[in-house]
Amino acid sequence: MDEGYLNLETLWFVLIAVLWTGYFFLEGFDFGVGVLLPFLGKDDTDRRVMVNTIGPVWDGNEVWLIVAGGATFAAFPEWYATLFSGFYLALFLILAALIFRGVAFEFRGKDARPEWRARWDLAIFWGSALPALLWGVAFANIVEGTPVGADGEWAGTLLDLLNPYALVGGLMTLVLFTLHGAVFLSLKTRGDIQERARHVAKALSWLAAAVVFAFLGWTYLNARGDEHIVPGIVPVAVLAAVAAVEWLLREKWDGWAFALTGLAIVGITATIFLRLYPAVMPSSIDPAFDLTIWNAASTHYTLKVMTIVAAIFTPLVLVYQTWTYWVFRARIGREDVEGAAPAAGAA
């Protein structure tokens, strides 16, 4: 077993990290738009504008989650099994929230009654807020270490997941994704709703900087002496990116502000996976019980076949999704939806 960096186990650890990074970057602004829907949408037309900014892309963004889960199952089955047994309730809540949110996108335009749309708008809000919070709780627990026994089995309870560090992680992802969504709306809309989105994003940028600083600082303080330490440039770059958002929005450089909120999400995800490597599920009981890329991986032949498949199809998926964003790159305003029949989950 080669424990250097040039091996298939490390390659698939990196690929899974990239898939989660892509998911949080893309789905992050979807979550943010959903969280802001009741607050920025002054009337049904505003809310239709907001939904239409993500209508053509939200389901494509969720593909990254499906692929990340499938890749974890195939490349590191022991990691997948322990993760889903220990985080079962949290992952079930995330799945239920994503299902209700997807249904809400399709159903809110099926009836013109205000009470009908209000119910589905509420489903979009909770279907966005809960995953944004719970993903942070889940990954913070993984970084901190969970009660994994000598047999690789989960040995804890739900209350073990609701620790202060994990809750800070959940608050961090919720606030950061909401900021990401607000900046996305300032980039994708016109008129009053764009100005309201900028105003909210500027206010959120300082709160996001505070919770990101708290999470990253706590992550460094929690590091065990023998664990891999993230290069200092990563958290510094994350904090600088979040802090610069307010100034960029004040100058109305929406594209650069969006790039920096995305950079912050990428940097935090990189911090999590760099802190883990070569572990995938550190044990809080005994470091000897850690699940690592070595003892949790599939066979070498399985990883080799997966690598060939990924090399063929990953570029195709990236080209298609890039083309989708290019096609739907135009800004959206009230005049684009007023008098038009509401589309179900599409622009």
- CATH number of the structural domain spanning residue 15: 1.20.1630.10
* Over residues 3-15, mean pLDDT: 84
pLDDT beyond 70 at 5: no
In a domain, 305, yes or no: yes
- Looking at 19-28, 52-61, 170-179, 228-237, which range is the least confident one? 228-237
Q: Over the stretch 265-319, which tens digit does the pLDDT of each residue have?
A: 999 999 899 888 889 999 888 888 999 999 999 999 999 999 999 999 889 989 9
In a domain, 269, yes or no: yes
pLDDT beyond 80 at 6: no
In a domain, 317, yes or no: yes
Q: Are 58 and 127 in contact (CB under 8 A)?
A: no
Distance CA 46, CA 76 (A): 44
Question: What are the strands, taking DSSP E only, across the chain?
Answer: 279-281, 291-292
Q: How many domains does the chain have?
A: 1
* Over residues 238-248, mean pLDDT: 91
Distance CA 224, CA 128 (A): 34
Q: Please list, in sequence order, all residues whose beta carbon lies within 8 angstroms of the beta carbon of residue 250, skipping any fewer than 6 positions away.
A: 202
In a domain, 304, yes or no: yes
Residue 282 has φ and ψ, to the nearest 5°, of -65, 145
In a domain, 230, yes or no: yes
Nearest by Cα to 28 from 64, 67, 76: 64
Owning domain of residue 214? 8-145+161-279+290-331
In a domain, 285, yes or no: no
- Looking at 47-51, 224-228, 293-297, 314-318, which range is the least confident one? 224-228
Distance CA 141, CA 160 (A): 9
CA distances, 278 to each of 64, 159, 192, 287 (Å): 23, 27, 49, 12
% the chain with pLDDT above 70: 93
Q: What was the pLDDT predicted at 334?
A: 87
Q: What was the pLDDT predicted at 217?
A: 87
In a domain, 252, yes or no: yes
In a domain, 342, yes or no: no
pLDDT beyond 80 at 23: yes
Q: Report the predicted TM-score, pTM, of the whole model to 2 decimal places.
A: 0.91
Q: Which residue has the higher pLDDT, 226 or 297?
A: 297
Give 1's pLDDT tier (boundaries 50, 70, 90). very low
Q: What was the pLDDT predicted at 85?
A: 87
Q: What was the pLDDT predicted at 343?
A: 47
Q: Over the stretch 322-342, which tens digit does the pLDDT of each residue have?
A: 999 999 988 998 888 876 555
Distance CA 328, CA 322 (A): 10
pLDDT beyond 60 at 346: no
Q: Which residue has the higher pLDDT, 133 or 154?
A: 133
Distance CA 285, CA 229 (A): 21
